């Protein structure tokens, strides 16, 4: 032992053996420990234990060896890191200012309160708005008209539809009555409304125009419903079509009845004159005579009460003359047609009614 060497005892050496075993002591300490170990069997035994422990620890396989034998975990870590770096490299989008953002955050944190609040707000808003929203029938006097379940019908649906029933409730005043139609067009549909409703009007006029597809009773019901809107060009055209083409005289009679209020119109008068010549049914011809007389009455003296009794078309009473001026060519046509009918119509009642009509129109015209 040299003079500079440090002398250590067992108490000093023992705690250093841990570091001596793993080569973590300085050169001076190492020398002193080695000197002590050469003389002390007890400390050598301690060092042997320390070395054995160190060996045991080093021999034990590490968790990393088991967890990532194939290197998959490392590859996955690298991939995830690259994705994170890509995200960091992307420029951050400037945060947009969101009005009422604090309300959304508050609601997100309190979903129960938010739901209750929204329901309450919706109920209050709905009650308040109902007072101000105009209802559909607010501009119509009299009976309330309600359109419910009125889907838009396509032409294809119309072509395939079958009418189950028609319920017509006439109005007490000038307003059109309510029509309820049960139809089957791919699936059962109920239309409810008045003649201002486009779908109702389309169905009714379609039935009237397509007499071969629908039952006569249905057609008559449709005409009954259309009667109130005979002034409407579209409906009048459908009514004229019915008196010209419908095979059933009862339906044609109903169509004529529906045209009563517009008998003075030129197109209606022309259609009536045609009926006088070509309609095979005497009742229809008599009704046509009645309407022609009526048209002249309305034209010359609207204030005069109606003389033709619709309940007794065949034997209408003769009324005082109310003929318009003879210079009117349309009147002269009617007179001529009635004169022909009076002489040549095969049906006696038609001839009688024509004669009565001529007397009703007036002597001047007859001459």
Partner 1 sequence: MADNTGRSGGTDAVLATVTSLPELDERSLVIEAQAGNRTAFEELVRRFDRDVLRLAMNLMKRPEDARDVYQEAFLKVYRNLHRFRFECSFYTWLYRIVTNVCLDHLRRRQARPEDQAPEVHMNRQDEGTRDFFEIQREHRPTLDPERRLMGLEIRTKLARAMERLSPRERVVFEMKHYQGLKLRAIGDALGTTEETVKNSLFRATRKLRQELGELR
Binding site residues, partner 1, CB under 8 A: 15, 18-19, 22, 24, 49, 52-54, 56-68, 73-74, 76-82, 84-86, 88-89
Report, in Å, the least distance between residue 79 CB and partner 1.
Answer: 8
Which residue, 276, 263, 280, 278, is CA-closest to 358? 276
SS3 163: strand
For partner 1, which is the closer residue by CB, 25 or 179? 25
Report, in Å, the least distance between residue 8 CB and partner 1.
Answer: 17
CB 171 within 8 Å of CB 228: yes
The upper half-sphere exposure of residue 9, i.e. CA atoms within 13 Å in the direction of its Cβ, equals: 1
For partner 1, which is the closer residue by CB, 26 or 329? 26
For partner 1, which is the closer residue by CB, 60 or 149? 60
Report, in Å, the least distance between residue 89 CB and partner 1.
Answer: 6
What beta strand segments (E) does 23-161 contain? none
Report, in Å, the least distance between residue 22 CB and partner 1.
Answer: 7
Q: Which strands form 178-185's sheet, in the order they lie side by side?
A: 162-169, 178-185, 187-193
Bridge pairing between strands 187-193 and 162-169: unpaired
- As a whole number of angstroms, the distance between CA 279 and CA 288 comes to 10
Report, in Å, the least distance between residue 86 CB and partner 1.
Answer: 8
For partner 1, which is the closer residue by CB, 66 or 95? 66
Report, in Å, the least distance between residue 154 CB and partner 1.
Answer: 58
For partner 1, which is the closer residue by CB, 89 or 127? 89
Which residue, 226, 165, 216, 237, is CA-closest to 194? 226
For partner 1, which is the closer residue by CB, 58 or 172? 58
Q: Tell me the chain's radius of gyration from C-alpha atoms.
A: 54
CB atoms within 10 A of CB 309: 11
């Amino acid at each position: 032992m040299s003079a500079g060497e440090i002398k250590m005892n067992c108490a000093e050496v023992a705690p250093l053996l841990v570091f001596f075993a793993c080569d973590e002591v300085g050169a001076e300490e190492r020398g002193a420990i080695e000197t002590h170990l050469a003389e002390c069997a007890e400390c050598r035994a301690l060092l042997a234990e320390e070395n054995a422990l160190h060996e045991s620890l080093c021999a034990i396989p590490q968790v990393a060896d088991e967890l990532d034998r194939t290197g998959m975990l490392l590859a996955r870590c690298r991939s995830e890191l690259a994705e994170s770096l890509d995200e960091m490299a992307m420029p951050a989008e400037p945060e947009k200012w969101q009005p009422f953002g604090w309300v959304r955050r508050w609601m997100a944190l309190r979903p129960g309160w938010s739901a209750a609040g929204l329901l309450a707000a919706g109920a209050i808003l709905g009650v308040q708005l109902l007072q101000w929203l105009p209802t559909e029938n607010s501009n119509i006097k009299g009976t309330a008209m309600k359109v419910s379940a009125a889907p838009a019908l396509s032409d294809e649906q119309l072509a395939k539809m079958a009418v189950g029933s028609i319920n017509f409730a006439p109005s007490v005043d000038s307003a059109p009555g309510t029509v309820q139609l049960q139809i089957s067009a791919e699936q059962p549909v109920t239309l409810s409304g008045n003649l201002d409703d486009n779908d109702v009007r389309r169905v009714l006029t379609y039935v009237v125009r397509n007499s071969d597809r629908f039952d006569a009773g249905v057609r008559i019901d449709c005409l009954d419903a259309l009667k109130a809107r005979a002034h409407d060009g579209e409906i009048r055209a459908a009514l004229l079509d019915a008196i010209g083409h419908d095979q059933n005289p009862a339906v044609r009679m109903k169509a004529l009845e529906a045209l009563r209020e517009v008998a003075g119109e030129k197109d209606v008068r022309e259609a009536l004159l045609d009926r006088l010549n070509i309609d095979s049914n005497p009742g229809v011809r008599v009704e046509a005579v009645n309407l022609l007389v009526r048209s002249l009455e309305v034209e010359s003296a609207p204030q005069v009460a109606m003389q033709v009794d619709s309940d007794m078309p065949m034997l209408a009473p003769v009324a005082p003359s109310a003929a318009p001026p003879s210079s009117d060519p349309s009147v002269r046509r009617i007179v001529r047609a009635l004169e022909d009918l009076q002489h040549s119509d095969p049906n006696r009642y038609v001839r009688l009614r024509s004669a009565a009509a001529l007397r009703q129109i007036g002597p001047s015209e007859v001459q």
